[in-house]
Structure 1
Amino acid sequence: MSHAHKQFLFAVALLVGFALAALVHSQNQSGFISIDCGLPNNSGYTETTTGINYISDSTFIDTGESKYLSANHDLNYYQPYWYVRSFPQGVRNCYKINVTYGTKYLIRAGFQYGNYDGENKPPGFKLHLGANLWDKVNFSTEFKQTTRELIHVTLQDYIHIVW
């Protein structure tokens, strides 16, 4: 795959609705972080259907561009998918999340293309936890949503989610 093609794939690769959650046995949100990727800086909301509190991803990453999926999609998408973050530059893009060393975490990442760029070319990309391949994401339809999750015991006081 050419470098230019890889850049294109990264340009449309979207990480949305990323949720990092310490494994807890209660119904409250203590120990959970729910990150809405692409949400404007310093903003947040409580999703009305689930009651989950979401925050912007702006403090976890310094690359990419925030995009709002057009208003006509709002009724079709779960609120954490209204905004997306695209990555038109770079070969690898990383979220850095501070965690507690030696703790077990459930890491869940949701993705949606949504044709925000008008190209009608759903992307495919590799998802890494640090340097290790976590999974591959390949969209089969223009507006399909997909989720990847794993349980990870941290070996440092931070993790990198990379694609």
Structure 2
Amino acid sequence: MPIDVSPYTDPVSGLVFTSDSSLIQTGKSGRVDKAFDKIDIEPYLTLRYFPEGQRNCYGLNVTSGTTYLIGANFLYGNYDGNNTYPNFDLYLGPNKWQTVDLEENINGSRLEVIFIPRSNSLELCLVKTGNTVPLISTIEIRPLRNDTYVPRLGSLTSSFRIYFNASNNYIR
């Protein structure tokens, strides 16, 4: 999210999005192509991409022992005009979280994990694995009650989510 638009409150969900400028010193800002402007949520129209370096990391402030839902959204949106969908790895701390393959998910991808940090800081890193440039649209960090999800060992990652709801509203 560009610093000049930050903070941005989504009118539907009430979520507040802020610029990542204080969380990372590398990367460049981009905006998806006008063809992707049909997306209703402003933060997903901007992104940070990392043409330099093999590994670029966000420094996140967290509270040790607190359960967090950490979400990451990725939308290429042909921001660079090259029409080349990126593929790269995402790490949470020292551990590989998942490979992000936007060629398989041309309309964007969302990853979620339930995580309990062991310190008050956490790195979320994008790692270049080929010729394409890693990018990220949003990072969401939400503290949960410690009894909401109880991972026995390690973290819990989502596989899919289904809403059983007759409403047309998007649920967050």
Instruction: Please confirm whether the aligned pair reaches a TM-score higher than 0.5, indicating the same fold.
Output: yes
Partner of 1:74: 37
Structure 2 Cα separation of the partners of residues 160 and 41 of structure 1: 25
* 2:21 is aligned with 1:58: yes
**Paired-residue identity, %:** 39
Gaps of 5+ in 1: 1-37
* 2:143 is aligned with 1:160: no
Partner of 1:88: 51
TM-score (structure 2 length as normaliser): 0.67
Paired letter, 2:93: G
Aligned partner of residue 81 in structure 1, secondary structure: helix
Root mean square deviation, CA, Å: 1.8
* 2:101 is aligned with 1:121: no
Paired letter, 1:55: T
Structure 1 Cα separation of the partners of residues 29 and 42 of structure 2: 15
Alpha-carbon contact 1:120-1:142 (below 8 Å) kept:
no
TM-score (structure 1 length as normaliser): 0.71
State the number of aligned residues.
126
Aligned partner of residue 126 in structure 1, secondary structure: strand
> Alpha carbons of 1:142 and 1:117: their partners in 2 closer, same or farther (altered >3 Å)?
farther
Structure 1 Cα separation of the partners of residues 3 and 81 of structure 2: 21
Paired letter, 2:46: Y
Match of 1:105 among 62, 65, 68: 68
Gaps of 5+ in 2: 127-172
Farther off after superposition, 138-147 or 50-59: 138-147
The higher radius of gyration belongs to 2
Alpha-carbon contact 1:113-1:142 (below 8 Å) kept:
no
> Alpha carbons of 1:77 and 1:142: their partners in 2 closer, same or farther (altered >3 Å)?
farther
Alpha-carbon contact 2:32-2:76 (below 8 Å) kept:
no
